[in-house]
Amino acid sequence: MTFLAMNPESAYDASQGGEVSIAYVRSLFDYLTDHGYSPASLFGKRTAESVERQDAFGTLPVLEWARLFDVAEAATGDPNLALHVGEAIKPRHFGILGYVTMSCSTLGEAIDRLLRYEALVGELSHSELRVDDGIARLRWRSPIRPIPPRVLSETAMAGWVSYGQWLLGGDYPAEEVSFEHAAPPDTREHQRIFRCPVHFAADHTGLAFPAEYLDRRLIQHDPAMRALLDAQAEARLRELQRLSPLHRRAREATRTALMQGRASLANLARDLGMAPRTLERRLHAEGLSYRRILDEARLNYARDLLGDPEARLSEVALLLGYSEQSAFTRAFRRWTGMTPARYRDGHGD
């Protein structure tokens, strides 16, 4: 089975977008599973297993996630799948950001953490909050231009509204919701979920709500837990900032290519929207090489695969692009100082 049954109308520009956290990707997988669909059947066993095996800090290219939505929409026949996934979102789907925000004292404090730590969910957006004349305006700015895919913005807005009401523990409707994309043929689900005026073809994506909501207490606030989670989030944010954007995107795109069985310099360059020689020059300028990027991606993927006690080492080797298990064993020993079998013994449940 191929990695993705691509929607021919889903012509996303691979040079745009960044990465999205696996925790957030699982919001789609969990919704499909809860409604009787098998992610393995829809996306392929390799893709489904990889998403399940990765830890919460793993990532997937944003536009790959958008393509997964295309496949799921076609399979389910649900043109509002993104709204429904956002409506069903849980704290765990935001990773550590979800747990930080739910431990905050007020909604305003939670939004402050959203703006501070949204990079931990991925490079989906750069949000901002403005308060004017008693109205708070939270804007979602995607790096994908000129207009971000509808599935990304609708998941985000439905998720914000649903999660915000869950944090507050009550019915707190928005004043209005805006989208940059054109109105779909049927907007009844938008009205049901948002219960306020919804504007399409707007100059921004975002929502507005009474500023008084910012001072509302959250039902699960826990200052001690918030302080602990803030420290963890700050540490993770520093780790992300340590890698250059090119290094991070190249490593995660290579991991995705490994999962698809097509890892190569040429494919990585195409995924990043540049010529192979241009990519090599840019990597060299940062003291990097394709070999180093491939080794990093292979090591991270190997660790996830070895976490499955039923996966044979020969299968792991093939998934990582090695024709022989002995070659994988030598490489893994070079990376970690131990054999794959010893690593698995020391990291089992």
pLDDT in tens, 207-218: 999 999 999 999
AA identity, residue 104: C
Report CA-CA distances (Å) from 162 to 87, 98, 167, 198, 282. 5, 13, 9, 16, 42
Phi-psi label, residue 273: left if phi above 0, alpha if psi -120 to 50, beta otherwise? left
What integer pLDDT is reported at residue 97 of this predicted model?
A: 96
Strands of the sheet containing 176-178, edge to edge, are 128-132, 135-140, 205-210, 176-178, 198-199
Quick check: helix, strand or coil at residue 205?
strand
Whether residues 186 and 57 share a domain: the answer is: yes
Q: How many CB atoms lie within 10 A of CB 6?
A: 12
End of a domain among 239, 264, 294? Answer: 239
- Average model confidence (pLDDT) across the chain: 89
Following DSSP, what letter does each residue of 54-98 receive, concatenated? S-TT-EEEHHHHHHHHHHHHHHHT-TTHHHHHHHT--GGGGTHHH
Two structure tokens written together for 176: 């209005």
Tell me the C-alpha distance between 64 and 327, whole Å: 30
Whether residues 230 and 270 share a domain: the answer is: no
What integer pLDDT is reported at residue 99 of this predicted model?
A: 96
pLDDT digits (tens, 9 = 90+) for 96-154: 999 999 999 999 999 999 999 998 998 888 899 999 999 999 999 988 877 788 999 99
What integer pLDDT is reported at residue 3 of this predicted model?
A: 27
pLDDT digits (tens, 9 = 90+) for 169-204: 999 999 999 999 999 999 999 999 999 999 999 999
Whether residues 235 and 257 share a domain: the answer is: no
What integer pLDDT is reported at residue 16 of this predicted model?
A: 54
Asked whether residue 54 is domain-assigned, the answer is yes
pLDDT digits (tens, 9 = 90+) for 18-44: 788 889 999 999 999 999 999 999 998
Asked whether residue 7 is domain-assigned, the answer is no
Model confidence at 91, pLDDT cuts 50, 70, 90, reads: very high
Tell me the C-alpha distance between 45 and 189, whole Å: 32
Asked whether residue 286 is domain-assigned, the answer is yes
For the chain, how many residues are written?
A: 349
Residue 58: closest CA among 179, 236, 211: 236
Whether residues 208 and 287 share a domain: the answer is: no
Residue 269: closest CA among 293, 255, 250, 287: 250
pLDDT digits (tens, 9 = 90+) for 251-275: 888 888 888 788 999 999 988 878 9
End of a domain among 211, 239, 267? Answer: 239
Whether residues 93 and 175 share a domain: the answer is: yes
What integer pLDDT is reported at residue 17 of this predicted model?
A: 59
Residue 34: give its domain's CATH number.
3.90.1520.10
Whether residues 208 and 342 share a domain: the answer is: no
Whether residues 235 and 301 share a domain: the answer is: no
Whether residues 337 and 214 share a domain: the answer is: no
Two structure tokens written together for 206: 């975002």
Asked whether residue 13 is domain-assigned, the answer is no
Quick check: helix, strand or coil at residue 210?
strand
End of a domain among 221, 239, 257? Answer: 239
Asked whether residue 14 is domain-assigned, the answer is no
Whether residues 200 and 254 share a domain: the answer is: no
No. of helices (H) and no. of strands (E), the chain = 17, 7
Quick check: helix, strand or coil at residue 20?
strand
Residues ≥6 apart with Cβ < 8 Å to 8: none
Residue 233: closest CA among 78, 116, 92: 116
Asked whether residue 4 is domain-assigned, the answer is no
Query: What letter does residue 175 receive in the DSSP assignment?
Result: S
pLDDT (average), residues 141-168: 92
Asked whether residue 61 is domain-assigned, the answer is yes
CA dihedral 229, 233, 235, 241 (to 10 degrees): 180
Residue 334: give its domain's CATH number.
1.10.10.60
Model confidence at 322, pLDDT cuts 50, 70, 90, reads: very high
Cross-strand pairs, 140: 205
Whether residues 209 and 318 share a domain: the answer is: no
Whether residues 226 and 120 share a domain: the answer is: yes
Whether residues 145 and 221 share a domain: the answer is: yes
Domain count, the chain: 2
What range defines the domain where residue 42 resides?
19-239
Two structure tokens written together for 286: 């940062």
The pTM of the whole model exceeds 0.85: no
Asked whether residue 10 is domain-assigned, the answer is no
pLDDT digits (tens, 9 = 90+) for 325-342: 999 999 999 999 999 999
What percentage of residues in the chain have a pLDDT greater than 90?
A: 66
Tell me the C-alpha distance between 259 and 164, whole Å: 35
Q: 140: part of which helix (H) or strand (E)?
A: strand 135-140
Q: How far is CA 186 from the centre of its chain?
A: 27
pLDDT above 70 for 9: no
